[in-house]
Amino acid sequence: MVAVDQITKSIAVAQLDRGDSVEVIGSFLTFDLTTNSGGSFSMFQGSTPILAVLAIGATGYLIHLLRSTEDRLSVAGLTLLLCGALGNLGDRIFRAPGILRGEVVDFIRLPNWPTFNVADMAVTFGSIALIASLLFEGRAAARANADAAALDVSLTGEPGADRCVDLQTDAEAAANDGSPTSDESAPQR
């Protein structure tokens, strides 16, 4: 994904002139070469060194998260985020005007949307995948809790009563076999 991002940016820089608009799918999708010294959606213009350092930190953190994540959708989301961060970080490090001051190349334009690149697409789709993963994880946890509560009620007729039944059953079993209950085995003071 990082390679695709860098290759498409290189082609855009070589083939497009600033200010020219090449229609790809009518006026719906055009290629317009721009550079961005700021962050997403051209926010924080002129903050390239700060954004580059933050991107380096974010890259390290994403790698750490990837090592400890097993959920496939989360892995896909984190991988896309990492690829997007690396793609734009490459521009900030290696493109003009200099190391950690380079401007990000954007060239894809849709109506009523800021110009973007393949790395931005990776960040967007990675974010969507992570949100979906969190939603599915939350639903799975809620479903597991609901299943546990339903089992609880079906066994005892009352929510939470199974815990009382377990304690009572342990005490009855101890009384029947002559072994001490937890109260009897406690040291006396």
Tens-of-pLDDT digits for all 189 residues of the chain? 999 999 999 999 999 999 889 999 999 999 999 998 888 766 788 788 888 899 899 999 999 999 999 999 999 999 999 999 999 999 999 998 888 889 999 999 999 999 999 999 999 999 999 999 999 887 776 677 766 666 665 565 555 544 444 545 555 555 666 555 555 555 555
Q: Which residue has the tokens 């009563």?
A: 161
Cα 82 to Cα 75: distance, rounded to the nearest angstrom: 10
Residue 96 and residue 36 in contact, taking contact as beta carbons nearer than 8 Å: no
Active site residue 120: yes
Residue 151 and residue 106 in contact, taking contact as beta carbons nearer than 8 Å: no
Residue 116 and residue 38 in contact, taking contact as beta carbons nearer than 8 Å: no
Side-chain half-sphere exposure of 38, counting CA atoms within 13 A:
10
Neighbours of 106 (CB within 10 A): 22
What pTM did the predictor assign?
0.72
Amino acid at 24: V
Residue 84 and residue 122 in contact, taking contact as beta carbons nearer than 8 Å: yes
Share in percent of the chain as helix, strand, coil (round to 5): 60, 10, 30
| Catalytic residue from among 5, 17, 120, 162 | 120
Length of the chain, please? 189
Active site residue 106: yes
pLDDT score, position 165? 47
Cα 24 to Cα 20: distance, rounded to the nearest angstrom: 13
Q: What is the distance of C-alpha 97 from the center of its chain?
A: 31
Segments making up each domain of the chain, as ranges: 2-143
Residue 6 and residue 84 in contact, taking contact as beta carbons nearer than 8 Å: no
Strands 29-36 and 104-109: antiparallel
| Catalytic residue from among 106, 147, 166, 177 | 106
pLDDT score, position 46? 79
pLDDT score, position 188? 56
pLDDT score, position 15? 96
Helix or strand holding residue 29 (H, E): strand 29-36
